[in-house]
Amino acid sequence: MFAKIQRIHFVGIGGIGMSGIAEVLLNLGYKISGSDLKRSSVTDHLHGLGATVFEGHSATNIAGAEVVVTSSAINAGNPEVEEARRLHVPVIQRAEMLAELMRLKYGIAIAGMHGKTTTTSMVAAVLAAGGLDPTVVVGGRVDAMGSNARLGRSQYLVAEADESDRSFLKLSPILAVVTNIDREHMDCYRSMHDIKRAFLDFMDRVPFYGIVVACNDDPMLRRLFPKIRRRMVSYGTRKGSDFQVNLKKGGRGAGRPRPALRDDESSSGRSARAGTPVPPQISCFAVQYRGSDLGEFRLHVPGVHNVL
């Protein structure tokens, strides 16, 4: 597709998921246009990168577009979608466009009902710190990137996999991380069984040479382990996890507790009288892989959920 398509139009380009893909495509050299109901800092950012952004939806906005990308928030009666179909211009979901980007890279997709944005950001930060310079599409602004997306120079692409509308079933990552499963998005899923089936289908989309990384601390996800048909490694604080996390004594993953402020201290954490900084909250933990020590780690954010 990318050898032929040059002009791509996004309906709802200001959405956090849409804007990230649009930014990556802009940086790859594609001509990007898009529309949204109102201007925002996100649309202004994309305009500054070279995108043509329309305020409001109109059939004329898609003139010259070779493919139109929509999200689940856009209904079938949208004038731009209707015009695209009248002109036989392909209309695809954002996940299908993300899948095309992922097909060209070593795709790492983060799925789960909670914590996707944080986990995606952390995976991207680890790869970047290791000099691997990943492409990243995340569902929230990452301070280190100054955006919710970046184009890297390596083969790695890290992205969130959105289960809310089943669109994650369009992705085929080489490495799939699943953090948890919960009773959410019941407007899309018929039952808890339906949710579990969708996550199993997502993990089945990993190719035979790929791998699934799944959290052993989540009871609903853990019950699916025998049904996962791809290579899998588990992680968690539970015994039997392939990557076993051991929280250091005193922290319980929450790090050193912050002392209460005295009357002479400010909320910035420094004493107005002595100028002594309050120690930051740190999560301290050790990791073993199938019984072999990998080392001890300090994470400068509190909480077991961040450690995992």
Annotated active-site residue in 160, 163, 170, 179: 160
Tell me if residue 117 is catalytic: yes
Query: Are residues 127 and 57 part of one domain?
Result: no
Q: Is residue 2 part of a domain?
A: no
Any residues with CB less than 8 A from the CB of 142 and at least 6 apart, and which?
121, 124, 136, 148
Annotated active-site residue in 66, 100, 117, 196: 117
Annotated active-site residue in 23, 116, 119, 163: 116
Give per-residue burial for 158-170: e unless 16+ CB within 10 Å, then b: bbbbbbebbbbbb
Whether the CB-CB separation of 101 and 24 falls below 8 Å is answered with: yes
- In the chain, helix, strand, coil percent, each to 5? 30, 25, 45
Distance CA 114, CA 302 (A): 17
Q: Is residue 99 part of a domain?
A: no
Query: Are residues 246 and 201 part of one domain?
Result: no
Tell me if residue 116 is catalytic: yes
Instruction: State the burial class of residue 22 (Cβ atoms within 10 Å of its Cβ: 0-12, 13-18, 19+).
Output: buried
Query: Are residues 229 and 241 part of one domain?
Result: no
Q: What is the structure's pLDDT at 250?
A: 54
Following CA atoms 117, 99, 19, 150 in sequence, which dihedral angle do they give, to the nearest 10 degrees? Answer: 70
Count each helix (H run) and each strand (E run) in the chain, helices first: 8, 15
Q: Is residue 1 part of a domain?
A: no
CATH number at residue 65: 3.40.50.720
Give per-residue burial for 67-79: e unless 16+ CB within 10 Å, then b: bbbbbbebeeebb
Task: Report angle CA 45, 48, 52 to the nearest 5 degrees.
Answer: 95
Residue at a domain's end among 167, 198, 233: 233
The H or E element that residue 296 is part of is: strand 292-299
Q: What are residue 168's phi and psi, to 5 degrees?
A: -65, -15
Q: Rounded to two decimals, what is the model's pTM?
A: 0.85
- Which domain does 85 fall in, by range? 7-93
Query: Are residues 191 and 219 part of one domain?
Result: yes
Q: Quick one: which of 298, 296, 294 has its CA closest to 283?
A: 298
Q: Quick one: which of 268, 237, 239 has its CA closest to 251?
A: 237
Distance CA 207, CA 44 (A): 38
Report the number of distinct structural domains present in the chain. 3
Query: Are residues 135 and 253 part of one domain?
Result: no
Tell me if residue 55 is catalytic: no
Residue at a domain's end among 93, 120, 137: 93
Query: Are residues 241 and 210 part of one domain?
Result: no
Per-residue pLDDT of the chain (308 residues; tens, 9 = 90+): 556 889 999 999 999 889 999 999 999 999 999 999 999 999 999 999 999 999 999 999 999 999 999 988 898 899 999 999 999 999 999 999 999 999 989 999 999 999 999 999 999 999 999 999 999 999 877 777 777 899 999 999 999 999 988 999 999 999 999 999 998 888 889 999 999 999 999 999 999 999 999 999 999 999 999 999 999 999 999 999 999 999 876 554 444 333 332 333 332 333 333 344 434 578 899 999 999 999 999 888 888 888 88
Residue at a domain's end among 93, 128, 146: 93
CATH number at residue 142: 3.40.1190.10
Query: Are residues 12 and 37 part of one domain?
Result: yes
Helices 94-103 and 16-27 pack at an angle, to 10 degrees, of 40
What Cα–Cα distance (Å) separates residue 127 from each residue in 25, 108, 112, 115? Answer: 21, 11, 20, 18
